[in-house]
Structure 1
Amino acid sequence: MATKKTKPSFTAVKSSAGASLTPWLGIAFIVILLDQISKITITRTFTHGEEKPITSFFNLVLAYNPGAAFSFLSDQGGWQKYFFAGIAIAAVVFIIYLLRKHAGQRMFCWALALIMGGALGNLIDRLAYGHVIDFLDFHLRGVGHFPAFNIADTAISIGAILFIFDELRRVNKH
Structure 2
Amino acid sequence: MNYLVAVLSDRIQAEGAYLALEEKGIKSTILGRGYKSADEFGFIDPKDQAKKQARLMTTWLIPFGFFAGFTFSLITGLDTFAWAGEIGNHIVGGLLGAASGAMGGVVVGGGGGLLFGSGDALPYRNRLDAGKYLIVVQGSEMLTRQSTKILRQFDPENIQGYADPSTV
**TM-score, normalised relative to structure 2:** 0.28
More RCO (CA 8 Å, sep 6+): 2
Structure with bigger gyration radius: 2
Of Structure 1 and Structure 2, which has the larger fraction of its residues in helix?
A: 2
